Structure 1
Amino acid sequence: MSGPVHTATDQIKTTVPHPYHLVTPSIWPVFGAFSAMCVAGGIIFAAHFGNYILLAIGLLGAVSTMYVWWRDVVRESATPGLHKLITQIGLRYGMALFITSEVMFFVSFFWNYFNYFFYPDKMGTAMAPVWPPMGITTIDPFAIPLFNTMVLLLSGTTITWAHHCLLEGDNKGTVQGLAVTVFLGLAFLCGQAWEYTHSPFNFYHGGVFASAFFIATGFHGFHVI
């Protein structure tokens, strides 16, 4: 009877000293890439043909991949000796780079908005170069936008409270803080849904202004989810 099969990774782990965290083979990156491709294609199908099936499949696959992949990471962390200092540093750097990439998304969205704000003649339309464009009625910033801003600021306070309770070992306070934060997140999404359904302009016929508005606020709403 043959013995266990040792891979090249196993040999490196046991024979060659190194400062790297070598992970075991996983199928989840393949599923994640396939789901991302479905999401990208689904957005095109939804925008041009009104078909949301591929987009739904991609989003479901992306959420499922995140769940099972992070589940494996949590299981690894519970195994003594696997998540050493170098691994923890790598995870922190990875999260820092991820947050940086998310920040750059919003930098590009705001850059797009202020580019047309300061240089409306770049819109390339026959109408007068003004911003917002002629025919666009903007949303009152002191109505739902102000409400949503206050909700977001309050949710930042409650999640900080939950984090403080977690550090102090107060499980009850942690759960309460997280519950209030989730409730505030739902309140924000309800406010944004109302704002979208009552918007004086729409995504399809609102031109550059509507595109800049919906892509920035929609991407932010997706992060709240």
Structure 2
Amino acid sequence: MQGTPQTHYFVPNPSYWPIVGAVALFCLGLGAALAVNGVALGGGMLVTGASILAYMLFGWFGDVIRESLAGRYHGKEDHSFRWGMGWFIFSEVMFFAAFFGVLFYVRVISVPELGDFEHKLLYPDFEAAWPLSTGPGITERYEAMSVWGLPAINTLILLSSGVTVTFAHWGLVKGRRRQLAAGLFATVLLGTSFLFFQAWEYAHAVHELNLTSASGAYGMTFYMLTGFHGMHVLLGTIILAVVWLRVLKGHFNPEHHFAFEAAAWYWHFVDVVWLLLFVFVYWL
């Protein structure tokens, strides 16, 4: 009944999905190890592992969605979901903090130290400037990415996507289903556009600027930070697309819509990380 305090916590039936997930991760790990060592079976194992993982995700999340639609989740479960998503995003913050720490260490500590008087005996031609153009491991000249152009366009795209997902949230809270669906669809399109332009940017960097992951510390940190961010944009776009499909099926209402909120939290996190990348990787 409405207003009746919750006296129990929903406990789902025993599930075999964790076992399926473990098998998927085993196949992925083994396939990666075999592929790196040039074993022909590696590629097949990777495809098998990815297929099993996709099957698990569809099945497990499908069970959760059906339990939610059946009204089995209430205040306590919602509280747990929010804490879980909050800690997940915090772990992602720490993930990127480690990579930004690498960039900070290289630029602020390592590069100036290698360029001081004591190290001139070891690396007489080294120039303590960023991006690096000379130094250990750099055998071919390359050009650094420009801050304007594709990076600026992608910044505008992600900032716009933050507006559209907020527009969709307002529509959900106010019961405007068309606004909700339109805002989500626009966000998915913007996320897809970002990925397209990032792929274009990578092709430009490799073929025209000669910038690869082997281009010293600059190339390594550039692809590490932007590449992992791109993976997160891909994941966020898929999540938002699934939420949009659920909206078209009539899921969510102004009182119960945490799946949408979780997707929006994650997307805003992705936006903030990109702004930091734009400033510290491209601009400064």
Normalised to the residue count of structure 1, the TM-score between the two structures is 0.78
Q: Cα gap change, 1:175/1:100 in structure 2, threshold over 3 Å: closer, same or farther?
A: same
Q: Cα gap change, 1:113/1:182 in structure 2, threshold over 3 Å: closer, same or farther?
A: same
In structure 1, the partner of 2:164 is 158
Matches within 5 A, 1:187-198: 187-198=193-204
CA contact (8 A) 1:116 1:131 kept: no
CA shift, 1:138, in A, is 0.8
Question: SS of 2:66's equivalent?
Answer: helix
Which amino acid in 1 is paired with 2:198?
A: Q
Higher mean displacement: 128-137 or 143-152: 128-137
Distance 1:59 1:68 in 2: 14
Higher mean displacement: 66-75 or 154-163: 66-75
Equivalent in 13, 24, 32 of residue 21 of structure 2: 32
In structure 1, the partner of 2:60 is 69
**Which structure would you say has the larger RCO, counting Cα contacts within 8 Å and 6 or more residues apart?**
2
In structure 2, the partner of 1:96 is 86
Which amino acid in 2 is paired with 1:34?
A: V
Gapped runs of 5+ residues in structure 2? 1-6, 134-140, 235-284
In structure 1, the partner of 2:212 is 202
Deviations along 1:85-143, one digit per CA (max 9) or x if unpaired, are 22221111111111111111111111111110112258899562543222442100111
Aligned residues with identical type, % of pairs: 34
Matches within 5 A, 1:48-87: 49=38, 52-80=43-71, 82-87=72-77
Query: How many residues in Structure 1 have an aligned counterpart in Structure 2?
Result: 206
Which amino acid in 1 is paired with 2:177?
A: N
Question: SS of 1:218's equivalent?
Answer: helix
Higher mean displacement: 136-145 or 30-39: 30-39
